Structure 1
């Protein structure tokens, strides 16, 4: 019997993924930054300025509007997936940590030994933090580290970062309100008073549903890599919500997507088609998948992640494909963007880049200019332009 699974090509999977991400079209209205997070579930957020732009790009919100969603307790940052900072709904933190924290902390046991952070030291840091943040107090990273040092807990090297990381993954703290350009630590249970309570198969099903809402089509391996949960758990989650999903085939591999006709936020959006996007580094459009080959050509990967060091540069995306890099320089006069494609770009595409830059300027609330750079050849290839 012939399979009824739809087979799609590269252009189609990129079109569908961009639409899932809220990038294939320009939203005229969404439920602000919170609506963008509802679509993406959680967005990688170790680079705070870039992470905030990921939300502004997908919601049409300005930078002050995005920051306000953290100040009012709607959104937070924590380390729920892969031991890496993410932005997510405050109400989702508890059930996600219940699902992922034990596995993450267990995987870091050797690292704690190397840093000489025993259980007694971790408990001392937790008690100090709880006392300092009690009653709704909030502290920045530097002040918390000074607190540890004053109590005789060394924060030298990576010890300080690991202590802050451990406190959040174990459910003591979360990054909540802003103070200038810094996000402050607060006590998780005090700051997040409304929370969802999910566990077991229901939690796995919700994770799969929410991941696919903002990233489909994707494979089970993509979800397992992103969440750092076992593939068997992800398959259980897929089975839990199987009635909401359908299979498509891309490059001979089964990908999952929400059933046609049930797009996120159906009926609440009006779109204008856009073909160019200026994505920040670490954006979920690339970071959301184990296999990024549909959007990123192999020869462009060393330019996007130089030295394969895990640091992703801001990217220019044209019609779903990573087509170049960009950087910015702020001054009193405004913000100057330098856009450097990997190959020559048509006037029509440059016009689309100009519209993308204008959206970035609206987000920042500042005038934006665009400087075009010569196309970038492969590293070491004759004629390669210097990276921005």
Structure 2
């Protein structure tokens, strides 16, 4: 088994994540999702930027992929919202939903959501959405209230979550900055169907295509499936995988180096006008580059973890990435006319990276289609 060091691990992961050049994936937002399989999407503006960053698409172009039914958001992994291909929702939920729902039994009891109430909410949603209906979160909650179902506290959110995890609804088209609920089976008329063995192998291959090299525990944590299931998927996909050692732990990647074709300087198009590698990236909070692993120590120093995920509460702040390492945080203040970015580096930024930071800010401006300035302070 070959061994790799941290610099190579991070270089390979940057390539897998399509973060090595300003337009790493020319097929737009759907191409990014093809590469990463699913991206955590609880922060919708951040998820849209994750897609635009990797494809060079504008915000308008990214949202169009939701409006035309190509991309959706649902809760297929870890009980958390993710962006994924519409055609992949059914088989991923078939693989994960039973376990997700079982983990929420006590929470449903605390919220006094018995099977009769859940079915009443489902019937109300189906009745309102059948035939191409679209409802916002607020409208769907008002519908439940009108049906005599209380939505106070966390009851309303849990009802919305439950309907999607059980395959009734999905978040599809956009309405301004908000995404609307639709019926899954109406919105996705031609879903992929896979048996369990094929699903586990597909999950492993698709996870690694966008995140390799990664360990078995990383995949299991990300999918929230038992290690035995992930090992079964690795065995089923074994012909497509290579194993490498990092820090004494086996890591997996696609065979033949498919996720890492070599040093960008060796590429034939490296000499073409306009070609350059990206040394600096401004990642949104919850981006898969950091969140997609249970062991994040290669990219994030231990002393910086409390700053990046304050209190370990699962809220990931937007990060400044320089050559694969988390080098700081960033924030923004936006108006209708411009956006001002403030950088919060963990240490002084080397002069050689100043140009890369300016380019990263320009990328964000192109995505938003508004001027972006760097706060000089």
- TM-score interval, normalised by the smaller of the two chains: over 0.9
Deviation at 1:30, TM superposition (A): 1.5
Q: Deviations over 1:315-357 (max 9, x none)?
A: 0000000000000111233110001110011222121111001
Equivalent residue, structure 2, for 1:86: 82
Match status 1:65 vs 2:61:
yes
Deviation at 1:359, TM superposition (A): 0.3
The answer to whether the 8 A contact 1:213-1:264 is kept is: no
Match status 1:52 vs 2:48:
yes
- How many residues end up aligned between the 2 structures? 368
The answer to whether the 8 A contact 1:201-1:237 is kept is: yes
SS in 2 for 1:260: helix
Equivalent residue, structure 2, for 1:38: 34
Match of 2:339 among 335, 339, 346: 335
Alpha-carbon distance between aligned partners in 1 of 2:14 and 2:59, rounded to the nearest angstrom: 22
SS in 2 for 1:65: helix
Q: Could you say if the C-alpha distance between residues 165 and 367 of structure 1 is closer, same or farther in structure 2, counting changes exceeding 3 Å?
A: same
Alpha-carbon distance between aligned partners in 2 of 1:49 and 1:200, rounded to the nearest angstrom: 33
Equivalent residue, structure 2, for 1:316: 320
Equivalent residue, structure 1, for 2:144: 148
The answer to whether the 8 A contact 2:333-2:340 is kept is: yes
Alpha-carbon distance between aligned partners in 1 of 2:197 and 2:261, rounded to the nearest angstrom: 25
Give the TM-score taking structure 1 as reference length: 0.93
The answer to whether the 8 A contact 2:24-2:54 is kept is: no
Gapped regions of structure 1 (runs ≥ 5) = 374-388
SS in 1 for 2:294: coil
Alpha-carbon distance between aligned partners in 2 of 1:10 and 1:135, rounded to the nearest angstrom: 53
The answer to whether the 8 A contact 1:55-1:66 is kept is: yes
Alpha-carbon distance between aligned partners in 2 of 1:308 and 1:28, rounded to the nearest angstrom: 32
Alpha-carbon distance between aligned partners in 1 of 2:148 and 2:24, rounded to the nearest angstrom: 53
Alpha-carbon distance between aligned partners in 1 of 2:29 and 2:231, rounded to the nearest angstrom: 30
Match status 1:6 vs 2:2:
yes
The answer to whether the 8 A contact 2:212-2:259 is kept is: no
Q: Could you say if the C-alpha distance between residues 98 and 129 of structure 1 is closer, same or farther in structure 2, counting changes exceeding 3 Å?
A: same
Alpha-carbon distance between aligned partners in 1 of 2:24 and 2:217, rounded to the nearest angstrom: 34
The answer to whether the 8 A contact 1:339-1:372 is kept is: no
Equivalent residue, structure 2, for 1:377: none
The answer to whether the 8 A contact 1:101-1:170 is kept is: yes
Q: Deviations over 1:186-235 (max 9, x none)?
A: 00000001211112211100000000000000001000000001000000
The answer to whether the 8 A contact 1:97-1:171 is kept is: yes
Equivalent residue, structure 2, for 1:108: 104
Q: Deviations over 1:265-311 (max 9, x none)?
A: 999x9863110000000000111000000000000001101111111
Task: Flag as ranges the 4+ runs of structure 1 deviating above 6 A.
Answer: 264-267
The answer to whether the 8 A contact 2:117-2:149 is kept is: yes
Match status 1:208 vs 2:204:
yes
Q: Deviations over 1:343-374 (max 9, x none)?
A: 0112221211110010000000011101145x
The answer to whether the 8 A contact 2:340-2:372 is kept is: yes
Give the TM-score taking structure 2 as reference length: 0.95
Deviates more, 1:329-338 or 1:243-252: 329-338
The answer to whether the 8 A contact 2:18-2:25 is kept is: no
Q: Deviations over 1:54-96 (max 9, x none)?
A: 0000111100000000000000000000000000000000000
Equivalent residue, structure 2, for 1:364: 368
Q: Could you say if the C-alpha distance between residues 225 and 119 of structure 1 is closer, same or farther in structure 2, counting changes exceeding 3 Å?
A: same
Equivalent residue, structure 1, for 2:283: 279
Equivalent residue, structure 2, for 1:253: 249
Alpha-carbon distance between aligned partners in 2 of 1:139 and 1:133, rounded to the nearest angstrom: 7
Q: CA RMSD in A?
A: 1.6
The answer to whether the 8 A contact 1:98-1:199 is kept is: no
Match status 1:161 vs 2:153:
no
Alpha-carbon distance between aligned partners in 1 of 2:131 and 2:70, rounded to the nearest angstrom: 19
Alpha-carbon distance between aligned partners in 1 of 2:66 and 2:137, rounded to the nearest angstrom: 17
Equivalent residue, structure 1, for 2:309: 305
Match of 1:172 among 163, 168, 175: 168
Alpha-carbon distance between aligned partners in 2 of 1:78 and 1:200, rounded to the nearest angstrom: 20
